[in-house]
Structure 1
Amino acid sequence: MAKILKATVSIAGCLLIFIVTGISTAATKESVAQSKQDVKAAGELLNSWHGEGQLLEQAQQKLAEALKLDPQSYFAFKELARLQIMAGYINSRNVKNGTYFYTIGNYAPGTLDTAETLARESIRINPSFAEGYVYLGYIQLEQTKLDDAAKSLAQAEILGTDDPWLQLNWASLNNARGEFSAATERWQRVLKSGTSNKKALSSAYGFLIESYKQSGDTSKVVALYKEQIKLRPTNAWLRGEYADYLSATLGRNDEAIEQANAALKVMDYGMGRRILAFAIYRKWADMVAQGAGTGAEKYFQTALAIEPQLDQVMAYGASEAMGEQLAKALSSKKGVSVDARAEDGSTALLISTNRGQTKMVKVLLDLNANPNLSDRNGWTPLLSAADDGNAEAVRMLLAKGADIKAKKGGADSATLAERKDHPELAALLRKQTGNTK
């Protein structure tokens, strides 16, 4: 990605010089028509992008050609802003707005500023370009400029557009403000709009699915996955994600195995194989719990051939909502320690605490999981629970001997709870230490 980013920033920089100097070239009718075709082709490449550097290179070339043919192509500048965002993206992070958390991206330095300049140039060329305001609003959301984003999206609505990203960006803004009903309504509006934009539909489905996961409405989650798979039957990642949900959250392992196998028929990929293995391991564990020991062993051997690292299976598999039988079977039948560690040193107890799986925290503690084992970054289950404000998990961990004096970066559990606006939990923890400041 670094190579693509460097090239993209270079071209963007040249275009910014072009913007500032005001150089212009008269475009013929034929060159404008060809420019539009190049922009459309670039947009299709960006819509199909899932991290492939080659697609960004191709889109970049198309947009550079489009602007040579028509320097006033405001669509090209908007698409170039999109390309800049994609090329500069590193990973995601959570940020806080009042008491609400929402997700934005981490980007290479200068990415968002350059993208904003390009989006604003599209609007300067055509002040009635609603889609330019839609994308500017998105950039401002990524910059955590929520009020500015609201103004840009409102202007897009005034100008009028059927761009589905207007609704999606409004939904993201609603979500950041804690307006969850409004966000859900916007996502549903995209699904009902009849848009053919597959990337927008995928985003709407993804956000709605995550929203219903958070609320525990499993029937709606399943229905949305099925709808999405019907629309995109050859998307291996989607089927794999659905399989993981069926197994890890619902314990519907036979269906999960079917979906995971279907995903791997489309594309053989590492995460798909891991999802399949975990579903088979859970099938084995359920059979062990039901007393089908000998019949279950073939499932264990099948899963073992796919994912032989049983420490990883314990750490990750036993930290999910449906991890109880797996933790018990691995421990009692295969001698795997409940304190087995993942690559970063996390145990199932720490991971389940991080995920807010309070039921599994209790299960693992009852299986004598050590509440004081930290990962390589110094997080213990108690510190994590305090940081998340999970009072129920904190009480269970303390009852099992969690070290209340443990610290992360010099901060104890009470300090972490206080920093995250959980004053009652902080007071409870300070009372435990005899420090009631």
Structure 2
Amino acid sequence: MKDKRTIWLMGILLALIGIFLIVNFPKDHESIVQQPVKEELLAGKNEIKSIEIRKGENGALEAHVRYFYRGGESNPVLRVITDSPDPNANFYVDEEQNAPIKKGEHSATIEIKRQPVPEKEFTSHKVIVSLGSKFGPTKVKKEIEHSIEWPDFFSYIRNREFTKKTTAELYKEAVEFIDQADSRTFNQAKKNLERILLKDPAYIDAYPELARFSMKSNWGPEGLKQAETYLLSGLALQKDHANSHVLLGYVYTHQNRFDEAEQEFITAEKLGTNNLWLWANWGELNALRGKHEEAISTYLKAIASPRTYNTYDRARLDAYRKLFALLNTQEELSKADELYKRRAEEYPNSPCFLTEYAAFRISSFEDFQGALNAGRKAIEAGCDSTESRQIMGIANYLAWASTEGQQRDAYLSQAQIFFPESPQLIYLLSRNASTSKVLSELKKQFISIDTKDNNNYNALAYALMENNIPSARRLIKLGAQPTEPVSEEEYPVALIPVFHQHTEGVQLLLENGVNLSAMKYRGISALGYAEQLENPEIYQLIKSKSRT
């Protein structure tokens, strides 16, 4: 019974489908069937008359083919391939190997491409040209002997993409690669620029980029000299190229040729340019000359206009960074605060700028609440750097040390979550007068100033290694012991400035009563190490303070 019911339902379903097809199938259904194209055929027969192998403008090999086509094929094309030692190559179809053809005697130029297989290097020996329907069998074929050494497939694809790019594309990519300074793509920037100049030696914008490449890849007198040579070569072709004058001013600045540098900046300004590096580089020149106010006003010009959203954004960020280093007097801190907030607003995709603002609020104003607000926003916006968590921890420690009541314990709990107690915490707290007071409170919690990490270093060791004298002074005042053994070698922490040849650190220890002349490691005194390191200044300093 059940089977009969199923058959009955299936019958109804098939009937409904039939009715649907009858109703919806077009009456002129014959119109959707492609009718053969009727055309008048030319006299003669299809023929590939000649094949000439040439090198195209981009360096790729091309087949220049003369042919006669009488007509009659659907989607007629010429196809150019090479032979391959791998028989599976015949199964690959590449549209770029085809060229549409028209009736009559004509010529076509088609790039000769590498067969996809084999993937390893190989040599082809024939170039094969066929004429026929794009989707049908080959009707006419002609081949010539021509050997081509092919690189491996992946190198071929990479090189081909490179040669296909326009000058504008090569230049844009080179600028991006130099800006990024990524070791994986950096050298490609120079290849791009060299290819541009091979095509067009007068492409003036390439010369400053070559100069930038030289300085980034070989910073120092040699790289600067090479950059100068590139820039002068470009200016010999076009003396009013403002960007070259801007960069030449930067080169002269770092060659200590300050007067020449300023003249280049003046020239660029007169020529007119939207290159914000003019102001960033000019500001650096003023700073190096000790012109504090002029440097600040020049850097402010770099950030006066809105974001450019191009390579010049880097100049704005450079100007911001250097302004923060200059705006350090009590009168200038309010301006710095304004700029920190403005930068964070202008660059929302760089949430860690909020972390830097939080650190500024702590170091300059002891404003733990402002720091907590900014630090929280940074983390919520996606800043996941170690520094962001450390700043949140330090802000909470500062809040804990500065408040009373129940909230105090909550601050300490948050602080320990974001930045657990460690030598690194103690060192960072000691680096600033506004946070060093937290250390006194931590000592009351039985935290040792000399606590060590997995590398067996304590906070004083890190301060002395980095030659941070104010920090080391605060730590010693709080009870850090210069005689404490550190590192896997277990040498006294007081020997660090001797080993690192930090005269200021040696002076600090001597001022605090450390008898370096009597301090030994592996049987050699600090005086002996200073003598071995051939540092007469430290040697004399220790000797003059030696005790009998």
- Counterpart secondary structure, 1:128: coil
2:444 paired with 1:332: yes
Q: If each structure's helix is expressed as a fraction of its own residues, which one has the higher value?
A: 1
- The farther-off stretch of 167-176 and 213-222 is 213-222
Q: 1:290 to 1:262 in 2, by over 3 A?
A: closer
Match of 2:478 in 1: 367
Match of 1:174 in 2: 286
Give the drift of 1:222.
1.1
Q: 1:290 to 1:227 in 2, by over 3 A?
A: closer
Q: 1:274 to 1:398 in 2, by over 3 A?
A: same
Identity of counterpart residues, as a percentage? 20
Q: Is the 8 A contact 2:450 2:458 kept in 1?
A: no
- The farther-off stretch of 176-185 and 296-305 is 296-305
Once the two structures are superposed, the pairs formed by residues 12-31 of structure 1 within 5 Å of their partners are none
Q: 1:341 to 1:119 in 2, by over 3 A?
A: farther
Match of 1:114 in 2: 226
Give the drift of 1:78.
1.0
Match of 2:251 in 1: 139
1:66 alignment partner, one of 184, 189, 196? 196
> Matched residue pairs, number?
361
Q: Is the 8 A contact 2:423 2:459 kept in 1?
A: no
- The farther-off stretch of 401-410 and 180-189 is 401-410
- Counterpart secondary structure, 2:434: coil
- Return the TM-score normalized by structure 1: 0.67
Gaps of 5+ in 2: 1-162, 484-492, 518-525
Q: Which amino acid aligns with 1:228?
A: R
Q: Which amino acid aligns with 1:314?
A: I
- Counterpart secondary structure, 2:494: coil
Once the two structures are superposed, the pairs formed by residues 392-431 of structure 1 within 5 Å of their partners are 400-403=512-515, 409=530, 415=537
2:202 paired with 1:75: no
Match of 2:171 in 1: 39
Give the drift of 1:44.
4.7
Q: If each structure's strand is expressed as a fraction of its own residues, which one has the higher value?
A: 2
Match of 2:321 in 1: 206
1:320 alignment partner, one of 432, 436, 442? 432
2:337 paired with 1:222: yes
Q: Which amino acid aligns with 1:254?
A: Q
Q: Which amino acid aligns with 1:69?
A: K
Equivalent-residue separation in structure 2 for 1:186 and 1:289 (angstroms): 39
Q: 1:108 to 1:366 in 2, by over 3 A?
A: closer
Equivalent-residue separation in structure 2 for 1:201 and 1:43 (angstroms): 17
- Counterpart secondary structure, 2:240: coil
Match of 1:276 in 2: 389
Match of 2:348 in 1: 233
Give the drift of 1:342.
10
Give the drift of 1:211.
0.4
Deviations 1:32-55 (A, max 9, x none): x952454245335544x2x43345
Equivalent-residue separation in structure 2 for 1:375 and 1:266 (angstroms): 44
2:490 paired with 1:378: no
Q: Is the 8 A contact 1:78 1:118 kept in 2?
A: yes
- The farther-off stretch of 137-146 and 70-79 is 137-146
Equivalent-residue separation in structure 2 for 1:381 and 1:370 (angstroms): 20
Deviations 1:114-162 (A, max 9, x none): 3222222221221222211211221232333434433433443454434
2:423 paired with 1:347: no
Match of 1:85 in 2: 215
2:374 paired with 1:259: yes
Match of 1:52 in 2: 182
Q: Is the 8 A contact 2:393 2:419 kept in 1?
A: no
Equivalent-residue separation in structure 2 for 1:108 and 1:381 (angstroms): 24
Higher RCO, 1 vs 2 (CA within 8 Å, ≥6 residues apart) = 1
Give the drift of 1:177.
1.3
Q: 1:284 to 1:208 in 2, by over 3 A?
A: closer
Equivalent-residue separation in structure 2 for 1:346 and 1:383 (angstroms): 21
Q: Is the 8 A contact 1:248 1:320 kept in 2?
A: yes
Equivalent-residue separation in structure 2 for 1:334 and 1:116 (angstroms): 60
Deviations 1:256-279 (A, max 9, x none): 23333433344454xx33342343
Match of 1:127 in 2: 239
Match of 1:190 in 2: 302
Match of 1:3 in 2: none
Q: Which has the larger radius of gyration?
A: 2
Match of 1:243 in 2: 358
Equivalent-residue separation in structure 2 for 1:349 and 1:222 (angstroms): 33
Q: Is the 8 A contact 1:244 1:256 kept in 2?
A: yes
Deviations 1:339-381 (A, max 9, x none): 7589795734973994564xx6665444223467436453799
Q: Which amino acid aligns with 2:214?
A: Q
Q: Is the 8 A contact 1:349 1:369 kept in 2?
A: no
